[in-house]
Amino acid sequence: MNHFQVGQKVVSLKSAWFNDEEGFQMRTDLPVMGQVYTVAKVSADDAGVFIALCELDPFSLFLSTHFRPVSERKIDISQFKAMLNPQKEQVPA
SS (H, E, C) the chain: CCCCCCCCEEEECCCCCEECCCEECCCCCCCCCCCEEEEEEEEEECCEEEEEECCCCCCCCEEHHHEEECCCCCCCCHHHHHHHCCCCCCCCC
What's the mean per-residue pLDDT of the chain? 82
pTM above 0.75, yes or no: no
How many structural domains does the chain have? 1
Which one is predicted more confidently, 93 or 69?
69
Residue 22 forms part of a structural domain: yes
Residue 24 is assigned to a structural domain of this protein:
yes
Structural domain span for residue 13: 9-84
Residue 91 lies in a domain: no
pLDDT number for residue 51: 94
- Specify the higher pLDDT residue, 60 or 20: 60
**pLDDT for residue 80 is more than 60:** yes
> Does residue 3 sit within a domain?
no
The answer to the question of residue 16 being in a domain is: yes
Confidence band of 85 (pLDDT split at 50, 70, 90): confident
pLDDT per residue over 2-22, tens digit each?
Answer: 689 999 999 999 877 766 555
**Would 4 be classed as within a structural domain?**
no
The answer to whether residue 44 sits within a structural domain is: yes
